[in-house]
Chains A and B, each alone.
Chain A
Amino acid sequence: ILNVEQSPQSLHVQEGDSTNFTCSFPSSNFYALHWYRWETAKSPEALFVMTLNGDEKKKGRISATLNTKEGYSYLYIKGSQPEDSATYLCALGGTSYGKLTFGQGTILTVHP
């Protein structure tokens, strides 16, 4: 059973703060690491898919890094805005057909 851990469970920041979350996973049988943003009553939105050790991806103010050898990924948000408030999920693709194993998520609340 793959175990994907995310920390912290929840986070409250002020508008303009930069923040980061951690996703830890077993480094064996690694295929891909996915990050999603899930706002209440909406579909989970894909942010990044990373497959190679050392991968760095960026989308606007959000970026992510990947270390497959030690089994972790960081998600960074620069200059948080209230609209960034959501649950951020990481998921490990640890099998050849892409089935995802999700962490519990980090709930981010950005206060104006």
Chain B
Amino acid sequence: GAGVSQSPSNKVTEKGKDVELRCDPISGHTALYWYRQSLGQGLEFLIYFQGNSAPDKSGLPSDRFSAERTGGSVSTLTIQRTQQEDSAVYLCASREDSNTDTQYFGPGTRLTVL
């Protein structure tokens, strides 16, 4: 079946512009996560969605970052007024049900802020 997809695969933007990153999780997966990997850093958690519950936003680095998940499926991560330190690979993952289930990752969006 189809895996997690993300778009765009690459995004180059100028400092100060807003960007939107999209994630299509695996159909039927209840949980969705956003992570990012900055240069020289490990993958870090950003935000978590589970069903209709309020998202856990504890990993968002600043109030310029926001995310939503519409209809329990597609998610969009928005970064306003981008800064150079936002340059990273942004990964989305989804999992089926149990908290210990495998998280399936998309191919990521490489964001470069000039």
A contact set with B: CB distance below 8 Å: 4, 31-32, 34, 36, 41-44, 46, 49, 51, 89, 91, 93, 96-105
| A105 proximity list for chain B (CB < 8 A) | 42
Please tell me which stretch of B12-20, B65-73, B74-82, B98-106 contacts chain A, meaning at least 4 of its Cβ atoms lie within 8 angstroms of it: B98-106
- Whether B105 contacts A32 by the Cβ 8 Å rule is no
Query: B111: shortest Cβ distance to chain A, in Å?
Result: 15
B contact set with A: CB distance below 8 Å: 3-4, 31, 33, 35, 41-45, 48, 50, 56, 59, 91, 95, 99-108
A74 to B71, CA, bound (A): 40
Q: Which of B4, B31, B102, B108 has a CB less than 8 Å from the CB of A49?
A: B102
- Whether A99 contacts B48 by the Cβ 8 Å rule is yes
Known A97-B48, A99-B45; judge A43-B102 contact (CB<8 A): no
A41 to B106, CA, bound (A): 11
- Whether A42 contacts B107 by the Cβ 8 Å rule is yes
Query: A25: shortest Cβ distance to chain B, in Å?
Result: 13
